[in-house]
């Protein structure tokens, strides 16, 4: 069974519209274009986070100033093993 998560996200974003001041959308899918555009027009789009700079819908290009790309920030987001052991002995 396939669900329509895209439509549900748009619907719930609008149902809860009065309950938030700004929204962060995490997607590179062009199906959210109308939602992103409306939120931007209303001053409620805080940020559009796109997982991959190389794979996102061309219809979202007009929102480039509002975008953050996760893969371009990978070095900040990757697990970094520390050189010191913070664990104390029992």
Distance of CA 83 to the CA centre of its chain: 32
Q: How far apart are CA 81 and CA 14, in angstroms?
A: 41
pTM: 0.76
pLDDT average, residue stretch 24-34: 93
Q: What pLDDT shows up at residue 50?
A: 93
What does the block give as tokens for 41?
């027009």
Mean pLDDT of 1-11: 81
Which residue from 69, 75, 40 is spatially nearest to 54, judged by alpha carbons? 69
What angle do the packed helices 5-15 and 33-41 form, to 10 degrees?
20
Question: What pLDDT digit, counting tens, does each position of 32-90 carry?
Answer: 999 999 999 999 999 999 988 889 999 999 999 999 998 766 666 566 666 666 666 66
Tokens of 43: 């001053």
């Amino acid at each position: 069974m396939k669900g329509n998560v895209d439509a549900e996200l748009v619907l719930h974003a609008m149902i809860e519209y009065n309950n938030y001041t700004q929204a962060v959308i995490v997607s590179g899918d062009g199906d959210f274009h109308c939602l992103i555009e409306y939120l931007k027009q209303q001053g409620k789009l805080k940020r559009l986070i796109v997982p991959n700079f190389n794979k996102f819908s061309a219809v979202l290009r007009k929102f480039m100033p509002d975008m953050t790309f996760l893969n371009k920030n990978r070095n900040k987001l990757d697990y970094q093993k520390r050189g010191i052991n913070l664990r104390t002995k029992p």
